[in-house]
Every structure is written in C-alpha cells, then in structure tokens.
Amino acid sequence: MVVFAGQGDARRSMSLLWRAEGSTGTRTRRWPGPKPALSVEAIIEAGIAVADADGMAALSMRAVGERLGRTAMALYTYVPGKSELVDLMYDQVLAELPTDYDLTPGWRTAVTSWAEDTWEFSLRHPWVLQVSQARPVLGPHEYRGLETLLRLLYATELGSAVLRRVVGVLVHFVRGSAQTVAEARQAAASTGVSDEEWWQTRSAMLDEVVPDFAERFPLLVRLETEGAAPETDKSVPETDKSVPYLEREARKTFEVGLGVILDGIEAAIHKAD
C-alpha cells in the first residue's frame, strides 16, 4: 500500500503543518461528560496510535474518532480529512528522530548513528514507509531531518552538488533496507507462514523442479556458497534464532551496504583533495 502525501487542500494542509496563525485551535467548551477538548495535536497523536497499532490500512477519520471517543464528524473542525491527517501524522512522528549528533569522532561515526537511528525509527513506525517519497510532505520536522543530515555531511567538506545526491542515496538506502524488514514482518503476520518455513518449502523444491540449477546459474551458486561464511552481526547474535532469517539478512545487508556507501563518500573526499 502506497500513500501519496499532499492530496488534500494545499493551503489548509500547509497551514496546519506549519501551525500558521489561525490554523489550529482547541475547543474550550467541553462535551457532555468527561471527554477532553479536541485539538489538532490530539487528533494527530490518535492517528499515529492507530497506524502504529493496526497499520496504514486501518487509518480512517472514523477509527481516529473512535480512539478519541468522538465521531468522525467531530474531527473535521480541526483537520479537513484523512489526506491532511496523513501529512500531519507523518511530519509529527519525524519529531522523534534525534538532531544533536556529536561530530567530534568524525562525520562517518555521526552518519552511522544517524542511519541506525533512522532504521530503528522506521521499524517502530513502519507505516511511514508507505508514505511515498515522490511527493514530500514539506513539513517542519521533515525539513529539520534533512537539515540534521546535511550538517553531518557538510563536515566532509564535499561540495553541495555532490552532497545533494549523497543525501538521496543515504535516505533511500536506509528507507529501503528498513522496508525489507517491515514487509517481512507484515508477510508473516498476514500469511501465518514464517520466513523459515516459506524459504525451506520453496528452496527444497528447486532441486526437484530445476535439477540443473547449478549449471544454469553458476554465479548465484558461487555467491551463496562463498558468501555463507559466518559474519559478525553487531545487532543479532548468531545464536539468536528468535530473529527471523530475513531480518538477520536484512540487518547484515544494512551494515555492509552502509559501510560501502560511507567508503564511497571517503573516496569522493580523497578525489576532491
């Protein structure tokens, strides 16, 4: 499921994102009973809670209203609709990401910490991975996140033309790596079949249905054979079988891939010198 940001009223959405004067408000009159006053912030937090618990597919104005003990109609005074709510939720949840990284040990250490924090954040809120990057939200926390990464990368002293593309590489790499894990978890929950069971069932059939597999795909066999040596995984002990196979592999790929990207940045620095 892919969700495109910016599908609602542009002026209202941007005003709410940036909390422009007159765009938000809290109803001071209380409804009958102990229900608290509604606010844009309360609606956003409820939307995030719904998406965290049940996924983006479960998000609706009705579901958010029910979580707040209100009808969907009661929310529209504050947020025009679901499209605007998605924009607000996405930008607000980005506020969790750290912004203060120590550059004393060097830009590489700082960027590594940024990547790990972004990976973990994405898996805490996997629904953010369903918000397409084709049309950014253009909210304050989204810009703050880019500003944070740029502060780390400008420490490399590379030019803006190069860093513009490096930012894209890093953001897409971390996002894509986390998405593999998020989708693997979703697949297991949706189908009731674990990674291990799925792979064992189908890989065992290859020998039967493709007896000449090794001859047809020799480089794949070489890669699997030579690349199967135990590797050091900082996050998942080799003995921890509670972590599904695909998650272990995705984490290793994340670590190795990030290292290759950072090596490339270092190479660009030396070339610029």
Q: What is the tens place of the pLDDT at every residue in 17-48?
A: 999 987 765 543 444 455 557 999 999 999 99
CA distances from 61 to 21, 38, 57, 143, 174 (A): 24, 14, 12, 27, 31
Q: At what angle do helices 40-54 and 82-93 cross, to 10 degrees?
A: 80
Contact by Cβ (8 Å): 9, 80:
yes
Distance (Å, whole) CA 163 – CA 150: 8
Distance (Å, whole) CA 151 – CA 100: 10
Return the residue matching tokens 């590797």. Answer: 231
Give how far the C-alpha of residue 142 lies from the chain's centroid of Cα atoms, to the nearest Å.
12
Buried b (16+ CB within 10 A) or exposed e, 200-235: eeeeeeeeeeeeeeeeeeeeeeeeeeeeeeeeeeee
Helices (H) and strands (E) in the chain, counts: 11, 0
pLDDT mean over 188-198: 91
Instruction: Give 58's pLDDT tier (boundaries 50, 70, 90).
Output: very high
> Quick check: 99 pLDDT over 90?
yes
What pLDDT digit, counting tens, does each position of 131-181 carry? 999 999 999 999 999 999 999 999 999 999 999 999 999 999 999 999 999
Adjacent-strand bridge partners of 3: 131
Q: At what angle do helices 107-124 and 245-272 cross, to 10 degrees?
A: 150
For residue 195 the two structure tokens come to 């990674």
Please tell me the pTM assigned to this model. 0.90
Report the length, in residues, of the chain. 273
Contact by Cβ (8 Å): 153, 107:
yes
